[in-house]
Structure 1
Amino acid sequence: MSETQLWTAIFVAITFSLYIWIAYRSRVSDTKGFYVAGGGIPAPANGAAVAADWMSAASFISMAGIIAFSQNGYGGSVFLMGWTGGYVLLALLLAPYLRKFGKYTVPDFVGDRYNETARLIAVVCALVISFVYVAGQMGGVGVVFQRFLGVDRTLGVVIGMVIVFFYAVLGGMKGITWTQVAQYTVLIIAYIIPVVAISANLTGNPVPYLSFGEILQQLNGLQQDLGIDAYTEAFTRTSMINMVLITAALMFGTAGLPHVIVRFYTAKSVRAARYSALWALFFISLLYTMAPAIGAMSKFNFIDQINGTPVDETPGWFNTWVDVGLITVSDSNGNSVIDLAGGFAATAADVGVTSEVFVNNDIVVLAAPEIAGLPAPIVGLVAAGGLAAALSTASGLLLVISSSVANDIYYKRINPAASEARQLLVGRIAMGGAIFIAGYLGINPPGFVAEVVALAFGLAAASFFPILFLGIFWKKATAIGAAAGMAVGLSFTLLYQLWTLPTFFGNDPILGIPPTGVGTIGMILNLLTIFVVSQFTPKPTPLMQKVIEDVRYPGRSELVVAHAEGTLSEAELHGEDRHDRP
């Protein structure tokens, strides 16, 4: 075992033991604790949990790599703008109102606001989004185990499955919440320390915000010397319209993510939900404002160390990533030297055709300490941070899957008389089954981590955001309109993604629209469908319209309180013919 593997094993053992201990101490015995942590999580802790839940392996492992390698710095900024902007939308437009409405899950809100058919479609949407998203997380777990512990990727995913199974099934949302607080602490420390150290090594200034401009100038010069577009040049690989489509898909998708929305139900009150959102934005900004810096610095170090290096004299870190298949190299011109003139290959298949090196986006943050020559303990800490980011989001997604099956299908539709113990049992069984499916998807991911996650955001934008937004701000949005809108948005977006993804049908994008940006088109179709269909279908009852009005206004409403506590009957809210409606 190398020194790096030893330190990685130490940090992984310590952090995994901490997660399991927290889950054991936080174990629950009722559905409220399992689904919303009893609704009593303090705002700062809830903010940290929201940040960990939302900043997945895509944020920690892959985002800086996209900014650095796949789109140049400017093109990769769609992820920064989309994900952070979407969180602001969520905090301002949805979170407080959904918390005031008082339901456990997004399908629960949809079922209560619209009808049971809409609830079932929402369950399907939640399951599709969550399984696509969780595939990226478990794939990230496999990458970390494979590289830093020398463990086969499949075995690494299985180990991650076992850990998540233990703390998610045992503690439910309560255990997940407090575990995510610990995971956020681990991941943010693991992210900040290397960025500060690399900044100090490269520029003598340990503050990456202040040294970032100097690095950008040097990187621009390096790339132009190689015949590559300047790092900061706009629209080199992505058109303006695609920049808008991808940014919007990520933004509105963030606001519609079911596993993030449910976090606000764990707050003590509507006021606490707002403060949770504020704390989360602060915690998120710590990582997101540093991602461009570590991306640029890592790319600068990579080019500086590798370009012109003889093939048989490449650094040890480079050879290690080649061995695990995340760097691909070919001496296509036969001069026995790695030549980066012309840039990096877009895919591994392009190596030797368009350029001599392909770098998988998922390695940039994980490899940054090694590339910069930092000591082994920091490398091990970064590996533990990557695992924390992946597992924190995976657990939140698995809870969405569990609650959708146990609460929205089993309890609401199949067995309304089920006891607390039976509901918990079904929820835990559903979560166990979901973990096995998630593990399979992690072993066979349809793309690199951030690409898979971006697909999930597009699906969330096309399915959930319109019906949540209009469900709150347009009291005359109808049940049939909502059901039709979700079905149209999800179907269109998912089919287009399958049509264009290389791992499925691999067809050329229509009009050049990438699968990561088509969610914006699906969202527009969803909105138009809801608006048109709602003009010709039965409107919500006057009482439901009054509840929606009261949810939007500050202050305590006895009607909303009665609704949240379940003292209003379905017949009162929706009319006697509710279950006869399509």
Structure 2
Amino acid sequence: MKNKSFLARLTRYYAWYTAGFIGFLIILAILEKEGFPRSWIGYLFMFATIALYAGIGVVSRTSDVSEYYVAGRRVPGIFNGMATAADWISAATFISLAGGLYLQGFDGLAYIIGWTGGYCLVALLIAPYLRKFGQYTIPDFLAARYNGNAGARFGGNPVRLLAVIATVLISFTYVVAQIYGVGLITSRFTGVDFSVGIFLGLASILVCSFLGGMRAITWTQVAQYVIILFAYLIPVIWLSAKHTHNPIPQLAYGSVMTQLSDIEQTLSDDPKELEVRNIYRARADLLGKRLNNLPQSWTQGRIEAQRQLKVLKHNSETSLIEIRAANRKLSDYPKSPEEARLVWMDARAMNLAHAEPPTPQATPFPGKDKEASDIKRNNFLAVVFCLMLGTAALPHVLMRYYTTPSVQETRKSVFWTLFFILLIYLTVPALAVLVKYDIYTSLVGTEYTHLPNWVSYWANIDKTNPLVSIVDLNHDGIVQLSEITLDGDMIVLATPEIAGLPYFISGLVAAGGLAAALSTADGLLLTISNALSHDVYYKIIDPVASTQKRVTISKLLLLVVALLAAYTASLKPGDILSMVGAAFSLAGSALFPALMLGVFWKRANQQGAIAGIVAGFGICVFYMLHTLPAFGGTVAGQWFHIAPISAGVFGVPAGLLAMVVVSLLTPPPDARTMALVDYIRAP
């Protein structure tokens, strides 16, 4: 009866909240129509939502251990489903997923298939059993399941320490991507510098997670999901009605896909497009020659850049703009042959990509020959595999299922999570197709003197690595598709402007992207701080620490980790989708074997778990370092042409094999551990 009353009260609160948010949108629409400055609309969206999240954090503040770590284990299934969906719909999903589909076509579906399939694994293999175990963290479960005779120094189990290390590294990689997304959004809609935008968004994250832990994060994430849903669906419905006269995009975008295929074929054979692609191909060939002639080519290039600057300075007719451009070219020139190799390899790859005809949106695994197509297919399957198993092992997602009142409520929660996620995921392909159709029909063929305003807006956000670049390579004054470079991370955020929608919709989308990034960042930071405070400090360093001290330590660690993550994100380490993909490979390789076998194979023991975590994580990290150019790796170092983002393809089998072999070669677990497995698996 108490639970029903609590559920009814929550339903009433969030119904009023949703109605209030709709009213807020109507007011902003009226203000825009009456001439209210667009910049102020952006500020209102940003700061009103951040103030809302901070307010929930203040109201939900707590120092109670159970409330701080697991929200008192009283979150109803439907609301935990909404909170988990918000936790899951990260910056990668909201900002980058449609962008990936836009750029990669059919191949981008790997992310939707992998993440959705991963949640099915969570429902079947992991979540109910973790809730029945009833602890606070994933390392807690692994430590109890693989309890051995390692001594009190490691809390009775070295597996706990390894699980903490894996949890921290996985979650930190993931949270950096979220904070990067925060910086991208706040810099675009407030006009502040990218790095400043990161720390503005960080303030909202800290108020929520710092004051109230899981309790504050849960109720904030429910509120954030409502904003995410409105922000994602409204522009797509609007676009669908605009191009198909059907407001249901999931049903309507098929007709646009057919038209898009015809346009792609026309652009593929267009003489002007071929002219531009040949220019890119010639540039790639020149860069290839430079790479083959290193280090001599680096020395010659530096001397030539210095000579050009000197000539311009001594020419009285040279403009100041030309001198500045030459000076900037010299200052940006690679500082060493090693740096030149990395820079020129990236530039060559970019030029080769532009030299290819447009990627067909509906054609699976397009390639110039069967071998190239097979490589794309294998990488598609590899990404799906890594995302599925990584999802089933992500600590910040699995932690959410500790918050429900019972195992039965956990099963309901997983169903609701899938439902709320699919409301977004079924819309993502429609958004990618409709935006691509809009760009192909309204931007391609435009005169350079009449470029839309959104191009300059997005190009100026990051002048070092522009999110939009349109350059008239063949000097015909007309925009060709091959002359357009769009960063996948800005497609969704720029959708309202690309489609010519009212500006308040742009503010809504930005608020949704910010909610997605903040909701996931909150959960990740709490996961890291809880692992360090509960599993390291309380379980290993100070087992007699008071509950107040444990919560205080968690808050301090959260603050430190948040600042480190923000600093790392300010360095712009890579695109969001790639960083998130790396986190999934790491999670699957390090934790999935120990979690799955811990539930379904009683013979798995502590020695096997240690071997599995070390082997899986080690192989995954080695492959990433061995194949990522940023770390000195090369494409030639790839195994079976598998991209670094899918390193889990090798890490997961290595972890499973090591765990099985070592478990069979060492003594079986004790009777207490066997009984624990039977209890966890009992209906």
* TM-score higher than 0.5: yes
> C-alpha separation between the residues in 1 aligned to 2:359 and 2:581?
25
Instruction: Name which one, 1 or 2, has greater alpha-carbon Rg.
Output: 2
* 1:102 corresponds to which of 134, 139, 146: 134
Structure 1 position 200, deviation (Å):
0.5
Aligned partners of 1:19 and 1:179 also within 8 Å? yes
Aligned partners of 1:3 and 1:376 also within 8 Å? no
* 1:174 corresponds to which of 196, 201, 215: 215
1:340-366 per-residue CA deviation (whole Å, 9 max, x = no partner) reads: 1xxxxxxxxxxxxxx422211111111
Residue type of the partner of 1:79? Y
Residue in structure 2 matched with residue 540 of structure 1 by the alignment: 669
Structure 1 position 506, deviation (Å):
4.7
Residue in structure 2 matched with residue 234 of structure 1 by the alignment: 364
> C-alpha separation between the residues in 2 aligned to 1:322 and 1:466?
44
* 2:488 corresponds to which of 361, 376, 393: 361
CA RMSD of superposed structures (Å)? 1.4
Residue in structure 2 matched with residue 350 of structure 1 by the alignment: none
* 1:18 corresponds to which of 38, 52, 55: 52
Task: Say whether 1:436 aligns with 2:563.
Answer: yes
> C-alpha separation between the residues in 2 aligned to 1:57 and 1:432?
21
Structure 1 position 436, deviation (Å):
0.5
Q: Secondary structure at the match of 1:134?
A: helix
* 2:101 corresponds to which of 40, 46, 67: 67
Task: Say whether 1:303 aligns with 2:411.
Answer: no
* 2:535 corresponds to which of 408, 411, 414: 408
Task: Say whether 1:505 aligns with 2:632.
Answer: yes
Aligned partners of 2:94 and 2:516 also within 8 Å? yes
Residue type of the partner of 1:154? S
Matches within 5 A, 1:41-440: 41-69=75-103, 71-72=104-105, 74-115=106-147, 116-227=157-268, 228-236=358-366, 239-324=376-461, 325-340=466-481, 355-440=482-567
Q: Secondary structure at the match of 2:665?
A: coil
Residue in structure 2 matched with residue 553 of structure 1 by the alignment: 682
Residue in structure 1 matched with residue 643 of structure 2 by the alignment: 514
Residue in structure 1 matched with residue 67 of structure 2 by the alignment: 33
Q: Secondary structure at the match of 1:358?
A: strand
Deviates further, 545-554 or 271-280: 545-554
Q: Secondary structure at the match of 1:510?
A: coil
Aligned partners of 1:447 and 1:503 also within 8 Å? no
Aligned partners of 2:237 and 2:248 also within 8 Å? yes
Q: Secondary structure at the match of 2:226?
A: helix
1:447-486 per-residue CA deviation (whole Å, 9 max, x = no partner) reads: 2111111110111111111110000000110111111111
Residue type of the partner of 2:473? S
Aligned partners of 1:4 and 1:380 also within 8 Å? no
Residue type of the partner of 1:76? G
Structure 1 position 99, deviation (Å):
0.6
Deviates further, 320-329 or 89-98: 320-329
1:247-270 per-residue CA deviation (whole Å, 9 max, x = no partner) reads: 100111011100000000000111
Deviates further, 105-114 or 411-420: 105-114
* Residues 383/229 of structure 1: CA separation in 2 closer, same or farther (3 Å cut): closer
Q: Secondary structure at the match of 2:517?
A: helix
Structure 1 position 520, deviation (Å):
2.0
Residue type of the partner of 1:301? D
1:521-551 per-residue CA deviation (whole Å, 9 max, x = no partner) reads: 1101100010111011121112211220221
* Residues 359/61 of structure 1: CA separation in 2 closer, same or farther (3 Å cut): same
Structure 1 position 7, deviation (Å):
1.6
> C-alpha separation between the residues in 2 aligned to 1:499 and 1:332?
36
Aligned partners of 2:186 and 2:201 also within 8 Å? no
Structure 1 position 333, deviation (Å):
1.7
> C-alpha separation between the residues in 1 aligned to 2:359 and 2:144?
53
Deviates further, 140-149 or 230-239: 230-239
> C-alpha separation between the residues in 1 aligned to 2:477 and 2:639?
41
Aligned partners of 1:135 and 1:442 also within 8 Å? yes
Residue in structure 1 matched with residue 150 of structure 2 by the alignment: none
**How much identity, in percent, do the aligned residues show?**
43
Aligned partners of 1:321 and 1:327 also within 8 Å? yes
Q: Which runs of 5+ in 2 are unaligned?
A: 1-34, 148-156, 269-357, 368-374
Equivalenced residue count is 538
